[in-house]
Amino acid sequence: MNLEKSLELFIKGQKHLVGAVNSPVRAYKSVGGVPLFIKKAKGSKIIDVDRNRYIDLVLSYGPMILGHRDKRVEKSILKALKNGYTFGATSKGEIKIAKMVCDAFPGMDKVRFVNSGTEAVLSALRLARAYTNKDKIIKFSGCYHGHSDALLVAAGSGLVTLSIPGSKGVPTDAIKNTLIAEYNNIESVKNQINNHEDIAAVIIEPIAGNMGVVLPNQEFISELRKITKEKGILLILDEVMTGYRSKYGGAQELLGIEADITCLGKVIGGGFPVGAYGARNEIMETVAPLGDMYQAGTLSGNPIAMACGIATLKELKKQDPYDDFNKVAEKIETFLLEAAKENNIDLQVNRFGSMMSPFFSSEDIVDFKSAQTSDTEKFKTFFWNMIDNGVFLPPSQFEAWFLSTVLSKKDLKNIEKAIKVSMKAVADKHNS
Ligand SMILES: *Cc1c(COP(=O)(O)O)cnc(C)c1O
């Protein structure tokens, strides 16, 4: 496979961009080799600067759920563009998408738009603290909630991949109010609650996606809702990844729980930088200008981004692709498991709607610790063989694969073929 131009850009890019990237996972540190530099994308395909074509299962880590450059979405963006780029005042689109989002999340009366998932979550934390007048928060090991100081502890994919335990530059003071619990382990939550007063909130990915996909067991998540309610602790559901991925709206409804504060991002911007946090009136009235919790943004609610988000959500609502997502994900799971079995490779597949992760492990993957039993060397071999066979995957064992609505039958056949070849390559290299 020719990656000559990617290599050229990788070298050139390092002069003025840190590691030639603007987000660390794009540097392919955990899989080695030359990171792909992308020229363009259309539909289910993405094309690199050397003109290699791939079926895209990265989808910009989630947002491009309709595939690239959906006609109707593009039309809305172009229309909005002609009215100007940003105004520093509210425009109609913001009101429209706010209603769409609140209608899809039963626990949300009001929403505030920001520019990224990171911003949504850090604002949600401030809101929880302002509303409860308490300081401490509980987060789960392996869950990622963006790169704000307080949450950069035990934070999943990007950090596991780089093997750094937190981040340098985060003052101890900034994380002294962050308590850690284990995913799917309600006792670990109870321990923290029993040992600390003044807990403002528990934050969780209702389906974890940043240690690879890990599902909560129903008892754990129901119990989590129950005890937080009993103790007057807010439950923040970080649905930046899961929102609109398995149903129109949040994972919380499927799990039969309701968040006190919900965080959104990725899909709601349809590829433009949008994040959001929302809650019932009583809580949102704490946010300025209604209340004393300050949070602002020059480009928040940007009209072009809102137009893209509105068109994306409209299309999702109309197409209701969620049954199909499950069927496609099940098929890919079968391809993976059959190819693994044929080649004597231990493999677990976790999936939720249109997100999924195969783990090269013999253990059930239920938390951060079990996720780390995966053989990342096998993943590396698998990854590069998939790339060679025309399937673009996230370059880490601990990132989810994403499905789009535009995957064709032919794409699926090609994914199946690529999986067969790649699993065999894993066996040839790693089975002794
Ligand atoms: C991606 C992600 C974030 C961070 O969003 P950014 O837009 O990258 O800042 C936060 N939480 C979860 C669950 C995510 O998947």
Estimate to the nearest angstrom the gap between the alpha carbon of 143 and the chain centroid: 10
Phi, psi of 132 (to 5 degrees): -95, -10
Q: Whose CA is nearest to atom 8 of ligand 1?
A: 117
Q: Does 60 contact ligand 1 (Cβ within 6 A)?
A: no
Q: What pLDDT, in 10s, does the model give residues 68-125?
A: 999 999 999 999 999 999 999 999 999 999 999 999 999 999 999 999 999 999 999 9
Listing DSSP states for 362-390 in one string gives: SS---SHHHHTTS-HHHHHHHHHHHHHTT
Mean pLDDT computed over 177-198: 95
Is 238 known to be catalytic? yes
Contacts by 228-233, CB closer than 8 A, 24 or more apart: 228/202, 228/260, 231/193, 231/199, 232/132, 233/132, 233/193, 233/199, 233/200, 233/201, 233/202
Q: Whose CA is nearest to atom 11 of ligand 1?
A: 145
- Nearest CA to 281 among 103, 398, 107? 107
Is 244 known to be catalytic? no
* 39 three-state secondary structure: strand
Asked whether residue 12 carries a pLDDT value surpassing 50, the answer given is yes
Q: Does 402 contact ligand 1 (Cβ within 6 A)?
A: no
Asked whether residue 158 carries a pLDDT value surpassing 80, the answer given is no
Out of 115, 183, 245, 266, give the residue to mutate to test ligand 1, the one with the largest number of ligand atoms within 8 Å of its CB: 266
Considering only CA atoms, give the Rg of the chain: 21
**pLDDT level of residue 174 (50, 70, 90 thresholds):** confident
pLDDT for the residue numbered 154: 74
- Nearest CA to 431 among 356, 341, 351? 341
Mean pLDDT computed over 357-379: 96
Q: Which of 28, 61, 144, 248 is catalytic?
A: 144
CA of 2 to the centre of ligand 1 (A): 32
Q: Does 155 contact ligand 1 (Cβ within 6 A)?
A: no
* 3-state helix vs strand vs coil in the chain, percent to 5: 45, 15, 40
Q: What pLDDT, in 10s, does the model give residues 227-286?
A: 999 999 999 999 999 999 999 999 999 999 999 999 999 999 999 999 999 999 999 999
The topology (CATH level 3) of 4-69+321-430 is: Aspartate Aminotransferase, domain 1 (3.90.1150)
CA of 210 to the centre of ligand 1 (A): 9
Q: Which CATH number fits domain 71-319: 3.40.50.300, 3.30.390.30, 3.40.630.10, 3.40.640.10?
A: 3.40.640.10
Atom of ligand 1 nearest to the CA of 119: 9
pLDDT for the residue numbered 163: 46
Q: Are 311 and 317 in contact (CB under 8 A)?
A: no
Q: What pLDDT, in 10s, does the model give residues 117-148?
A: 999 999 999 999 999 999 999 999 999 999 99
Is 54 known to be catalytic? no
Q: Does 394 contact ligand 1 (Cβ within 6 A)?
A: no
Distance CA 108, CA 362 (A): 40
Residue 421: count other Cβ atoms within 10 Å of its Cβ: 14
CA of 4 to the centre of ligand 1 (A): 32
pLDDT for the residue numbered 168: 87
Distance CA 258, CA 261 (A): 9
Domains of the chain, by residue range, sit at: 4-69+321-430, 71-319
pLDDT for the residue numbered 171: 86
CA of 287 to the centre of ligand 1 (A): 22
The whole-chain average pLDDT of the chain stands at: 96
Q: Are 215 and 352 in contact (CB under 8 A)?
A: yes
